């Protein structure tokens, strides 16, 4: 039932505060057992993490690399499942293999987990939205996100709940490794519980995002840029834009612009920047200046306290608060809305974009 919404994707975007709250329901403290009865023993024995996923889930996994490395201080590799399964990877048997998948039926993810097991990596964990899926059966440990059934081909609520699950994993690994104080645990839990509220405030920015989408929908190419843990948010923004609006979109880590893509920038090439108020903001600001100086039009998603103001060629939408390590979750929402409204203006079949399937069960 679509209720007041036109498309399932739109409904699912606005369900995200509920989906995140449900995923966090009953979690009063951080503990490895959130991932299974034997998780403490497994987490205690691992010396590295390998994340395997495809598409949007791969972007969630990439975000987790930044979290796990900085908070749990474990080395992390993130691999596109279809690449990993045919690569002669060299990995320790004490690697925690984390497969991230909404459906739990993606053929390449299942294949990659099988390969990892054949290589002797028995410590497997599924982060999945479907409890009865093949992936959950294949992995020793699991965490089920509670996004609810996702119908739109473009993943939205599954993506943000994957991020929540991956953040809980980060904190649990940190705790087992003695890297999480009680104070830090409380602070992270407080931030997680406040997320649904903060997300609702970001979703309320929809009217300003619609105004931007009206400009962007007329373009044939868009660049998305971000830095640090918001680089995967830029990748996710470009993927959403491509898959439902059919506008060609590419994402770059902003520091890479001058190594090639800056050559594409002109008045016809809009650049969407994910610019939260973190320690990389100054670096990003100089990357944005390079775009502005070449006549590129910037559309900047900033935070309330960022000090970035609109200027000729620079449009700014400010999110309501800066959200620390969980900021990628908030900054994903405008990416989804921007793609949705650009697609709506183009009249595409948003829930069933051409050539795509919800669940890719063949190679
Ligand atoms: O079910 P999965 O999470 O394994 O699916 C992976 C990708 O096929 C999926 O994320 C795809 O990229 C979405 N259409 C992205 O919106």
- Ligand 1 binding pocket mutation candidate from 51, 64, 106, 354 (most atoms within 8 A of CB): 106
Does residue 246 have a pLDDT over 90?
yes
Instruction: Say whether 283 is catalytic.
Output: no
pLDDT in tens, 36-70: 999 999 999 999 999 999 999 999 999 999 999 99
pLDDT reported for residue 309: 86
Nearest CA to ligand 1 atom 12: 55
Answer for the pair 50, 91: CB distance below 8 angstroms, yes or no. Answer: yes
Q: Sorting pLDDT into bands at 50, 70 and 90, what band is 146?
A: very high
57 C-alpha to ligand 1 centroid (Å) = 6
Q: Which residue has the higher pLDDT, 285 or 98?
A: 98
Q: Which atom of ligand 1 approaches the CA of 56 most closely?
A: 10
**314-319 and 76-80 beta bridge pairing:** unpaired
ipTM of this complex prediction, to 2 decimal places: 0.99
Average pLDDT over the chain, rounded to whole? 96
Does residue 363 have a pLDDT over 90?
no
Looking at the chain, how many residues does it have? 363
Q: Sorting pLDDT into bands at 50, 70 and 90, what band is 205?
A: very high
Does residue 284 have a pLDDT over 90?
no
> pLDDT exceeding 90 applies to what percent of the chain?
91
Answer for the pair 184, 313: CB distance below 8 angstroms, yes or no. Answer: no
Average pLDDT over residues 105-122: 96
pTM: 0.97
Which two three-digit tokens encode residue 118?
């054949």
Average pLDDT over residues 2-8: 96
pLDDT in tens, 168-193: 999 999 999 999 999 999 999 999 99
pLDDT in tens, 264-274: 999 899 999 99
pLDDT in tens, 319-350: 988 899 999 999 999 999 999 999 999 999 99
* Backbone dihedral angles phi then psi of residue 194, each to the nearest 5 degrees: -85, -10
pLDDT in tens, 72-112: 999 999 999 999 999 999 999 999 999 999 999 999 999 99
Does residue 306 have a pLDDT over 90?
no
- Ligand 1 binding pocket mutation candidate from 56, 103, 236, 350 (most atoms within 8 A of CB): 56
């Amino acid at each position: 039932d679509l209720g007041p919404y036109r498309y399932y994707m739109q409904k699912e975007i606005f369900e995200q505060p509920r989906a995140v709250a449900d995923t966090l329901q009953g979690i009063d403290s951080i503990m490895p057992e959130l991932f299974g009865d034997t998780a403490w023993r497994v987490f205690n024995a691992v010396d590295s993490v390998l994340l395997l996923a495809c598409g949007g889930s791969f972007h969630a996994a990439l975000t987790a690399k930044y979290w796990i490395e900085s908070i749990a201080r474990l080395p992390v590799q993130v691999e596109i499942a279809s690449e990993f399964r045919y690569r002669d990877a060299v990995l320790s048997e004490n690697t925690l293999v984390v497969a991230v998948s909404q459906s739990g039926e993606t053929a390449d993810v299942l294949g990659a987990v099988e390969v990892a097991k054949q290589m002797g990596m028995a410590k497997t964990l599924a982060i999945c939205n479907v409890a009865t899926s093949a992936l959950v059966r294949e992995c020793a440990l699991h965490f089920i996100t509670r996004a609810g059934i996702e119908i739109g081909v473009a993943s939205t609520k599954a993506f943000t709940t994957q991020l929540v699950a991956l953040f809980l994993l980060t904190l649990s690994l940190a705790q087992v490794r003695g890297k999480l104080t009680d104070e830090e645990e409380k602070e992270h839990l407080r931030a997680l519980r406040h997320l649904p509220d903060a997300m609702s405030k970001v979703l309320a920015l929809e009217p300003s995002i619609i105004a931007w989408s009206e400009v962007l929908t007329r373009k044939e190419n868009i660049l998305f840029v971000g830095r640090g843990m918001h680089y995967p948010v830029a990748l996710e923004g470009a993927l959403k834009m491509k898959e439902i609006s059919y506008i060609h979109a590419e994402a770059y880590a902003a520091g890479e612009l001058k190594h090639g893509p800056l050559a594409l920038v002109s008045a016809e090439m809009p650049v969407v920047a994910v610019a939260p108020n973190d320690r990389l903001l100054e670096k990003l600001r100089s990357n944005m200046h390079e775009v502005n100086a070449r006549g590129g039009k910037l559309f900047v998603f900033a935070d309330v306290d960022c000090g970035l103001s609109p200027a000729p060629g620079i449009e700014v939408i400010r999110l309501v608060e800066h959200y620390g390590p969980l900021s990628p979750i908030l900054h994903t929402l405008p990416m989804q809305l921007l793609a949705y409204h650009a697609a709506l203006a183009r009249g595409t079949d948003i829930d069933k974009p051409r050539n795509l399937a919800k669940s890719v069960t063949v190679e």
